[in-house]
Amino acid sequence: MSLKALTTAAALGVLGVGAAQADRDLSIYPAAQCAALWLGYSDYAARSHYLSVDPTDATRAAAFRAVALRLGTSPRADIDRYIADQRPLMETMVEAMIFGRDRQSADVFEALVETCKSFAKDHPETRKLS
């Protein structure tokens, strides 16, 4: 499968899950989704010549996971499984955005980062994240 096809699938998956989960399950979206985003971003940075690894990415991911667990709208196992399932999709999206210069991936990334920033303001675990 091409990078473009993988990127499109990842972006559509993020958008579909976000819209479907937003009103029902805050532990999954946006909390766990934000954790997966920062883990995937960090994973790409670890193997990329275009980014440097930033230890605060792991800190952000852990903080969003902590919010997801505290909210408890899903069982811990579901939250962790969701993060694990989404993490490689986030890595693919970041790769497509940076290496492939894919506009759709950049748009999804930017929207998700804004969602995470907005959500973070309301929770003590994430409030002080930059």
* pLDDT tens figures, 87-114: 999 999 999 999 999 999 999 999 999 9
Residue 122 pLDDT: 97
pLDDT of 6 reads 56
Torsion-angle region of residue 2: left (phi > 0), alpha (psi -120 to 50) or beta? beta
* pLDDT given at position 3: 55
In a domain, 9, yes or no: yes
pLDDT in tens, 69-94: 999 999 999 999 999 999 999 999 99
Q: What is the largest CA-CA distance in the chain?
A: 41
52 assigned to some structural domain? yes
Of residues 20 and 80, the one with the higher pLDDT is 80
Residues 6+ apart with CB under 8 A from 13: 86, 89
Least confident of 1-5, 31-35, 83-87, 122-126: 1-5
- Containing structural domain, residue 8: 3-120
Which residues, 6 or more positions from 128, have their beta carbon under 8 angstroms from its beta carbon? none
> What span, in angstroms and rounded, lies between the C-alpha atoms of 80 and 76?
6
In a domain, 130, yes or no: no
The verdict on residue 125 lying in a domain is no
Number of compact structural domains in the chain: 1
Does 127 fall in a domain? no
Instruction: Look at residue 104 and tell me if it is in a domain.
Output: yes
Does residue 38 belong to any structural domain of this protein? Answer: yes
